[in-house]
Amino acid sequence: MSIKRVLIIQARMGSTRLPGKVLMDLAGRPMLAQQIRRLKQCTKVDRIVVATTTNTIDEPVVHLSQQEGVEVFRGSEDDVLARFAGAARMSQAGVVVRVTADCPLIDPEVTDRVISELVEHSHDCDYTSNVLQRTYPHGLDVEAFFMETLLRVDRMARSKLAREHVTLFVYSERPDLFLCRSVLDCNDNSDLRWTVDTAEDIRLVRAVYEALGLGARSLTYQEIVSFVRAHPELMRINAGVKTWQPPRKTP
């Protein structure tokens, strides 16, 4: 019997830096809807679940997810690790894929690659991602880990940061307990910021969507990189935004 691979999108309306960002308009549709559309193109994913909170403010996230034909799990706003574990249990996941709902340029092929890296090295790997050692743009972030790994972390993690950031316990607090693999690109584009946390970020993403017609078609991230590199005025839109980095340790 094959292992069920469940992609869980972390989404809520109560963002501190840009409230309501996940449902902001992007090429005529909510940003979360655009991201779900892109992720549905993944070939290594069996199921997509949006993990949101039990807060009333997140009712629109639930409705939008249902309209887009994906399942929803509702849990704690602050204990995101518990929310992920609950979503994974509900969907009977064997492999859990974590993405956040502020990445509307996320690439399905990159997502598939991170999943394949985990599955193909299941004998000596608990966790794979393209964020431990960055070569991809910020906003193409994908993490994959086995259900057993998630349950271990949920049992052991105690700090507020670890409960909030889901996988921080794996790569920062107790990296000695887990076997991790990094997925690297052949070129380093880690200077590009495509995640949405600020008004400048959404301006950039809207400009890219409009210029490339991404509301009606999908391009690979390499094609998007080539376009953005050729138009440095786009990169300047959010050049002053500081990207938050969680603490990291190496085993």
User: pTM for this structure?
Assistant: 0.95
Whether pLDDT at 23 is above 70: yes
pLDDT tier, 16 (very low <50, low <70, confident <90, very high otherwise): confident
Whether pLDDT at 248 is above 80: no
Closest C-alpha to 91, from 119, 50, 120: 50
pLDDT of residue 249: 56
**Amino acid, single-letter form, for residue 221:** Y
DSSP 229-242: HH-HHHHTTTTTPP
pLDDT of residue 251: 43
pLDDT tier, 149 (very low <50, low <70, confident <90, very high otherwise): very high
pLDDT tier, 250 (very low <50, low <70, confident <90, very high otherwise): very low
Q: What is the CATH code for 5-190?
A: 3.90.550.10
Say which residues have a Cβ less than 8 Å from residue 140's Cβ, sequence separation at least 6. Answer: 103, 105, 106, 107, 110, 130, 194, 221
pLDDT of residue 165: 95
Whether pLDDT at 1 is above 80: no
Answer with the residue of higher pLDDT: 244 or 34.
34
pLDDT of residue 243: 79
Say which residues have a Cβ less than 8 Å from residue 152's Cβ, sequence separation at least 6. Answer: 177
Pairing of strands 47-53, 5-10: parallel
* Per-domain boundaries in the chain: 5-190
Rounded to an integer, the average pLDDT of 162-183 is 97
Task: Compute the residue count for the chain.
Answer: 251
Rounded to an integer, the average pLDDT of 219-242 is 95
Are 203 and 24 a contacting pair, CB within 8 Å?
A: no
- Give how far Cα 213 sits from Cα of 27, 29, 216, 239, Å: 8, 13, 6, 23
Rounded to an integer, the average pLDDT of 55-77 is 98
Q: What is the mean pLDDT of the chain?
A: 95
Pairing of strands 180-182, 143-146: unpaired
CA distance 88 to 31: 23
The DSSP secondary-structure symbol of 193 reads B
Whether pLDDT at 39 is above 50: yes
Torsion of CA 53, 13, 192, 205, to 10 degrees: 140
